[in-house]
Amino acid sequence: MMGVNAVYESNVLRPREELGLKKGEVVEIEIIKDSIDRLSAPVRISRQDWIEELIEDQTRITAAKIKMFDLLHYIIILTNLL
């Protein structure tokens, strides 16, 4: 995926830079008119393996937080025993 600035004139989008596309190549275009639109543009994750990796990362982070909480809990108990 690449981002390109273009100018709209006479019902045609003209890129401001070379695109490196072959003649007749089909592309998908998402139009974002200004910076405010860009900030609200949705984030898309289309690859299932990326989604699964994000879920696994979140699971690992949650497990690490639980282990850290347990460790702190035991430290507090031991400190009170001393």
If one compares 12 and 65, the residue with the highest pLDDT of the two is: 12
pLDDT score at 4: 84
The arithmetic mean of pLDDT across residues 63-72, rounded, is 80
Residue 72 lies in a domain: yes
The arithmetic mean of pLDDT across residues 26-38, rounded, is 72
Residue 1 lies in a domain: no
- Domain hosting residue 20, numbered range: 6-81
Phi, psi of 12 (to 5 degrees): -135, 135
Q: How confident is the model at residue 22 (pLDDT cuts 50, 70, 90)?
A: very high
Alpha helices, DSSP H, located in the chain:
35-40, 48-81
11 pLDDT more than 70: yes
If one compares 82 and 61, the residue with the highest pLDDT of the two is: 61
Which strand (E) or helix (H) includes residue 13?
strand 12-15
**Number of domain units in the chain:** 1
> In the chain, what is the straight-line distance between the N-terminal and C-terminal CA atoms, in Å?
60
Residue 42 lies in a domain: yes
User: Residue 62 — left, alpha, or beta (φ > 0 → left; ψ -120 to 50 → alpha)?
Assistant: alpha
Output the pTM of the full model.
Answer: 0.37
